Structure 1
Amino acid sequence: MTADPTGPAGAPPPAPDAWTGQRERSNLATLRLMRWIATTLGRPVARLVLWPIALYFLCFGGTAARASRDYLARVLGRPPTWVERYRHIHHFAATVLDRVYFLQGCLCGIDVTLRGGDDFDEALLDGQGMLLIGAHVGSFEALRAIGHQRSGLKVAMVMYEDNARRINETLQALVPNGGLHVIALGRLEAMLQLRQWLDDGGVAGMLADRTLPGASARSHLHRLPFLGRPAAFSDGPFRLAALLRRRVMFMTGLYHGGGRYELRFVPLADFRRRGAGPAAQDAAVQAALQHYVALLEGLCRESPYNWFNFFDFWAAAEEVPQVAPPPAAP
């Protein structure tokens, strides 16, 4: 079992149990086998295979299984039962399987409902594109289901170079012709590419609930309360939105079991206003980050089995000094 290697930069060297230090359990051959099962045998049969897979990782998942148990204890407020632990891992396995269908543009009996769609459509009307900030909660790929209703919608994923290479390998193994556009940050031309993508009315998604080693001068880590204990969050995605002067919207695709997904959109911030000084911009960035973390915590409590960060999410915060909030804008 593996979680997506995506997230913003701006973190100190990871703690021993950080997600970047964990060996990937799945490999390309396994992913290609999953693709074959999904496309050849069909979704009903493929879902039957998930039951023994989830049971195996519950029993032998090592660090990931322990992280799942510890997270559930935190969000539920008590030690989880074995059934609850199994359900958590099975939810993750089911969303990995369904990526094949989403990336192929074939819903195959998957029912996707929409919440906050009016806010999403309104944000697209100005033709300036927007950034969608998500998390390792549910399925970001479920966004592609909107493409069946909104022809011409262009979606790209934004991530850093090493992550882009790994996720491209993963997607190539799952869906060779999936057509997911990836913008790899780290070079000057990448920023120009992202700006052009947005200027053409496209949307670009980032997952903002992980941090990477290698500090960035343009982003900072913040220790924010999350499920009862401080956790480290980077403000990098929001500083990027402020630099590009774009709207920011929270997006998630919650998995509700079987073939049911719920796409949810919530406005986070609007950085299109020009003329704001550095202090006002810092305050706006931190307000957006705090809103994001509050939304994320609310989703975890509402739908706890959709959280797919299988590592000690709170460990990195111990290395981050507490930063005083910027002064409020005049």
Structure 2
Amino acid sequence: MKHTDEETRAVDAAAQAGQRGDWARAPERSNMLALRFICLMALVCGRRITRLLLPPISLYFLLFAPTPRRHIKRYLFRAIGPHAGWLDGYRLLHAFASTVLDRVYFLRGRMDLFDVKVEGAEPLEAEVLAGRGAFLLGAHFGSFEAMGACKQHSAHRQQLRLAMLMYPDNAQRITAILNAISLPELRPHVIALGRPHSMLALRDWLDGGGLGGMLADRTLPGSEDQPAQQRGNNIVLPFLGQPARFNDGPFRLAALLRRKVFFMAGVYGGGARYDVRFDLLADFGERAADPAERERRIRAAVEAYAARLEALCRAHPYNWFNFHDFWLED
């Protein structure tokens, strides 16, 4: 099948919007030796002992990472209120460190270590069984790997195949290590956006009943002097009491491929508890009557996404791990 120029531009815009943000160009703080040590500890000593490392790691980043700390403070003021303080920042960083550690066990198939609840997966499974596939749009919220629990809870676990749609050159060190320790059958499949055959690979994957997952909370605006088809459309919406920009590239991609879009989140509840949730955001299965109708439906889907994310941030404020200048205040 040949893909249209419009579809190709949509894939490129979705990738470029994420690539151009400062978070994508920021140097990794990850230290290879430290990462290997923690992964080795996790596999040799077990989760309970390795978690003893998390408090000093969280405290270190709270004290010696001033730029992320500034962004965390701004976010917590909006999600919790002006009374948010150092303890709240520590709790957020500890939750982040916990989900990173648990990633090791999820990728090793150790679901027995966790108490995971899954909500709203039935409509998603229906799309997979019908051979249509679907888009899963999440955020840097909780744990994406916890969604592997869906296979454990589903009677159709063999049919649930997930590919991450992402810019693959960010966080290369930790990705390489996690790929090395994961079981082959649990290793995430990646479809790299912004490449010549991205659209064809994505459409074939969806036509085979696969799911395409993408984190949509870091699609920051690029330079305004770039062409619109490269820049993508950025919609300004109220988010936690302040205007914020959300890029509609992922939703345009779903509209062009005529798929349903589900919001996904693996909420970390502390300890070994995770709550995996799926909510239908939009159904682009039917072609819009005209371009104006398509634009209206895309905007409605972006607004629904922002509303879901805001509600989760208020209900579970220590789960949003977006440590960059989200409101473009710097």
Answer yes or no: same fold by TM over 0.5.
Answer: yes
User: Does the 8 A contact of 1:138 with 1:252 survive in 2?
Assistant: yes
User: Does the 8 A contact of 2:24 with 2:170 survive in 1?
Assistant: no
Matched, 1:190 2:183: no
| Deviation readout 1:180-208 (Å, 9 max, x if unpaired) | 10000112311111111111111110000
Give distance in 1, aligned partners of 2:277 and 2:18. 28
RMSD of aligned Cα (Å)? 2.1
Partner of 1:10: 17
Partner of 1:262: 275
Matched, 1:283 2:317: no
Partner of 1:158: 165
Report deviation, 1:169: 4.2
| Structure 1 counterpart of 2:229, from 201, 217, 238 | 217
User: Does the 8 A contact of 1:31 with 1:174 survive in 2?
Assistant: no
SS in 1 for 2:238: strand
Change (3 A) 1:104 1:315: same
Report deviation, 1:70: 1.6
Partner of 1:171: 175
> Which range moves more in the overlay, 88-97 or 112-121?
112-121
Where is the helix percentage greater, Structure 1 or Structure 2? 2
Superposition map of 1:75-224 within 5 A? 75-150=79-154, 151-152=157-158, 153-159=160-166, 163-167=167-171, 169-176=173-180, 178=182, 179-211=187-219, 213=222, 217=229, 219-224=232-237
User: Does the 8 A contact of 1:100 with 1:175 survive in 2?
Assistant: no
Report deviation, 1:248: 0.5
Give distance in 2, aligned partners of 1:284 and 1:8. 21
Change (3 A) 1:256 1:294: same
Partner of 1:243: 256
**Count of residue pairs the alignment pairs up:** 305
Which sections of structure 2, spanning at least 5 residues, go unmatched? Answer: 1-13
User: Does the 8 A contact of 1:8 with 1:207 survive in 2?
Assistant: no
Give distance in 2, aligned partners of 1:46 and 1:123. 39
Give distance in 2, aligned partners of 1:315 and 1:245. 32
SS in 2 for 1:217: helix
Give distance in 2, aligned partners of 1:176 and 1:232. 36
Give distance in 2, aligned partners of 1:48 and 1:74. 30
| Structure 1 counterpart of 2:74, from 61, 70, 88 | 70
Matched, 1:305 2:318: yes
> Which amino acid is 1:36 matched to?
L
Partner of 2:8: none
Give distance in 2, aligned partners of 1:158 and 1:9. 13
Report deviation, 1:300: 0.4
Partner of 1:4: none
**Equivalent pairs: percent with the same residue?**
48
> Which range moves more in the overlay, 107-116 or 94-103?
107-116
Report deviation, 1:266: 0.4
Report deviation, 1:11: 7.0
| Deviation readout 1:109-135 (Å, 9 max, x if unpaired) | 111101112232233332211000000
Report deviation, 1:275: 5.1
Report deviation, 1:19: 2.3
Change (3 A) 1:168 1:143: farther
> Which range moves more in the overlay, 120-129 or 219-228?
120-129
Give distance in 1, aligned partners of 2:238 and 2:26. 25
Report deviation, 1:236: 0.5
Change (3 A) 1:24 1:207: same
SS in 2 for 1:242: helix
User: Does the 8 A contact of 1:101 with 1:108 survive in 2?
Assistant: no
TM-score of the superposed pair, with normalisation by structure 2: 0.86
| Deviation readout 1:35-84 (Å, 9 max, x if unpaired) | 11111111101111101111111111211122112211111121313222
User: Does the 8 A contact of 2:133 with 2:211 survive in 1?
Assistant: yes
Change (3 A) 1:72 1:201: same
User: Does the 8 A contact of 1:35 with 1:175 survive in 2?
Assistant: no
| Deviation readout 1:206-248 (Å, 9 max, x if unpaired) | 0000125476616311111101111111000000001111110
Report deviation, 1:30: 2.5
